[in-house]
Amino acid sequence: MSIKAIINTESGSVPTDAGNALSAELSDGLDTLSCVVGSELCNAMEGLDLSREDTLIVWGGDGTAAAALTRCSTTGAAVLALPGGTMNLLHRRIHGDVSDWRDILHAALSTEPRPLSAGCVNDAPFFVALMAGRLTHLTEVRETLRSGDIAGAARHAAGSDALDLRSALKVDRSGATRHATALAAFLPEAPSAGPLEVGLLDPDHLAELALTSFAAILSDWRSAPGVDYETWDRFRLELTDGPWIDITLDGEARKADENMEVRFLENAARVLSARQA
């Protein structure tokens, strides 16, 4: 078995000496180590020679871990994700309450790989959550709030079309059509569980939309008022008034085709987990 590692030095909470610290913890057990900035991450991962017998340690935030899981889904290599971002939602899904990177590293390396379920938007996987609709524009508001810039967050909110009441999404599941202003689809907390937990938001008035929206960005969608969740394996999503659908996959903003399929994948990748078996 070969152990390779990639560290995203631009991730929010990766220590400045991460490369030396990881090498020291693994002593002679680490075959290759790459420290890269975020823009170099995909090229660095594509350049790795990986097989099913290998382990890829990836240290960074949710987007970094998701990129590694996507890469390794085609090679079969197991991913050991170390938390180095701001929210680390994917890391919590994989490792549970264990948060110290050293504890995760040693606990996970002593286990066998486990399957990790995912969702998929057309051909693009996600491992924590999909958000769709104009409310995804509030992501920038949330990041500005985290930096402490309340005035900047207010400017972003005022200049955004996120609080548009139009039900611009058409959701089709098994022939039944529903309409929504926004949609959220989560993977269950347990790594190999499913199916997707899907919530639709279609408020009657602006006050209800604003209440749900800001509760979602300040805490999370699951606890936001006005959103009820159902478990779905598959559905189609269409936009009724525009050339693309604004979405986020594991927090990364994208523009998707106006007509897309979302489905649950039971065995999307293999991970090493610090969770108790």
For the chain, domain boundaries: 3-110, 125-266
Non-local (6+) Cβ contacts of 159 within 8 A are: none
* pLDDT (0 to 100) of residue 256: 83
117, with CB counted inside 10 A (0-12, 13-18, 19+), is buried
* pLDDT (0 to 100) of residue 153: 45
* pLDDT (0 to 100) of residue 197: 94
**What is the widest separation between alpha-carbon atoms in the chain?**
61
Q: 209-217 — which CB contacts under 8 Å span 24+ positions?
A: 209/163, 209/165, 209/181, 210/163, 213/135, 213/138, 213/162, 213/163, 214/138, 216/135, 216/138, 216/184, 217/138, 217/139, 217/141, 217/142, 217/145
Q: What's the rounded Cα separation, in Å, for the pair 146 and 251?
A: 14
* pLDDT (0 to 100) of residue 234: 96
* pLDDT (0 to 100) of residue 160: 55
* pLDDT (0 to 100) of residue 28: 79
| CATH code linked to domain 3-110 | 3.40.50.10330
User: What is the DSSP secondary structure assignment for residue 43, as one 8-state letter?
Assistant: H
Positions of the chain with pLDDT under 50:
145, 153-154, 157-159, 162-163, 165, 205-206
Q: What's the rounded Cα separation, in Å, for the pair 111 and 133?
A: 40
* pLDDT (0 to 100) of residue 42: 87
* pLDDT (0 to 100) of residue 155: 52
* pLDDT (0 to 100) of residue 255: 83
Non-local (6+) Cβ contacts of 127 within 8 A are: 65, 66, 69, 90, 93, 116, 118, 119, 187, 250, 268, 269
In CATH terms, 125-266 corresponds, of 3.40.1410.10, 3.40.50.620, 3.40.50.300, 2.60.200.40, to 2.60.200.40
Q: What's the rounded Cα separation, in Å, for the pair 231 and 193?
A: 12
